[in-house]
Amino acid sequence: VLVMVPWVVRNYRLVHEFVPVATLGGVGLQEGLYMCRNVSFGDDLYPAGQAAGRIRGQLAHDLGMRFEGAEYLQTFYDAHDETAFNRILYERAKNEYVSDPGLLAECVGKNLFNLWFLGKTWNVTQLNMLVQVPLLALVFCGLRIVWRRGGLRKMAILLAYVGSIVIVHLMIVAEARYSIPVLAFLSIPAAIAVTAIGARFGGTRGAHDNATFRHD
C-alpha cells in the first residue's frame, strides 16, 4: 500500500479516476483475444502482435484521439484518452467473452500453454519448451515431496503469489516472458526435487561403493 499510494494519487490527479495499477488492461485483453484466435502451434507470435496493434491504432484514429505508435503500443497525448481507450477495448473484449463462454475457455487453455512456452517466433517457443518442461517437471516433483512431508502449508504464501500471477495472465494475455517473475519462486520446489534426486542416487552409489570396499 505504501509503495502504490503515490502512484494512485498521481493517476487520480491525471484523470480524476481511481486507477490502482495501470490503464493497459484493455490492451492486454484485446491482444490476448486476438492471439487466441490467430496464433496456433507452429505460428510466430510477432506478426500477430503487430496486427493486433494495428487494429488498436486504427480504432484510436477512428475515435479522433491524438497518439503515437500506430503499429503496436499506442502512446496518447492526453491521459484521459488513454483511460477511455483502454476502457473501450476492455468492454469490447469482455462482451465477446460473455457472449461466447466457450471462447473464453479455449483462450484460458491456450494461455496456460502460452504463459510457459510462447515466444515471439516458433523457434523461440520450441526452445522455451526445451528449457521449461524439465523445470516444470521438477517443480511438480518438488511440490509432491513437500506435500508428502506435510510442509505444503509453509509454502502457502509463495504458492498464492505464483497462482495470482498465473490466473491473471490466463484470463488476459500470456507469453513465456510473463512467467519469468514466478520462476525465481518456483525454483524453490524445483531445488527440493533436485536435492531429493541427488540424495537418492548419490546415497545408492555411496552404499554400493562401501559394500564393494568391504568385500575387497
157 burial (CB, 10 Å; 0-12 / 13-18 / 19+) is exposed
pLDDT average, residue stretch 187-212: 75
Alpha helices in 70-121 (DSSP H): 79-99, 101-117
Grid-cell match 511438480, residue found: 140
What is the Cα–Cα distance from 191 to 141, expressed in whole angstroms?
10
How does the average pLDDT of the chain come out, rounded?
89
Print burial letters for 53-80: b (CB count within 10 Å at least 16), e (below 16). Answer: beebbebbeeeebebeeeeeebebeebe
What is the Cα–Cα distance from 98 to 89, expressed in whole angstroms?
14
What is the Cα–Cα distance from 64 to 101, expressed in whole angstroms?
32
Q: Which three cell numbers stand for residue 173?
A: 494475455
> What is the model's pLDDT at position 125?
94
Rg of the chain on CA atoms, in Å: 23
Q: Which three cell numbers stand for residue 28?
A: 492486454
> What is the model's pLDDT at position 203?
63
Confidence of residue 42 (pLDDT cuts 50, 70, 90): confident
Give the helix/strand (H/E) hosting 68.
Answer: strand 67-68
Residue 66, C-beta contacts closer than 8 angstroms, at least 6 positions apart: 76, 77, 78, 81
Q: Evaluate if residue 206 carries a pLDDT over 60.
A: no
How many other C-beta atoms lie within 10 A of the C-beta of residue 162?
A: 20
Cβ atoms 131, 121 nearer than 8 A: no
> What is the model's pLDDT at position 40?
86
> What is the model's pLDDT at position 102?
94
pLDDT average, residue stretch 46-70: 92
Task: Name the nearest CA neighbour of 141 among 186, 204, 203, 202.
Answer: 186
Q: What percent of the chain has pLDDT over 70?
A: 94
What is the pTM (predicted TM-score) of this model? 0.80
Q: What torsion, rounded to 10 degrees, do the Cα atoms 167, 171, 176, 178 define? A: -70
How many other C-beta atoms lie within 10 A of the C-beta of residue 101?
A: 9
Confidence of residue 121 (pLDDT cuts 50, 70, 90): very high
93-103 pLDDT, tens per residue? 999 999 999 99
> What is the model's pLDDT at position 204?
52
What is the Cα–Cα distance from 84 to 86, expressed in whole angstroms?
6
pLDDT average, residue stretch 53-71: 91
Of 15-19, 22-26, 66-70, the range with the lowest mean pLDDT is 22-26
pLDDT average, residue stretch 1-12: 88
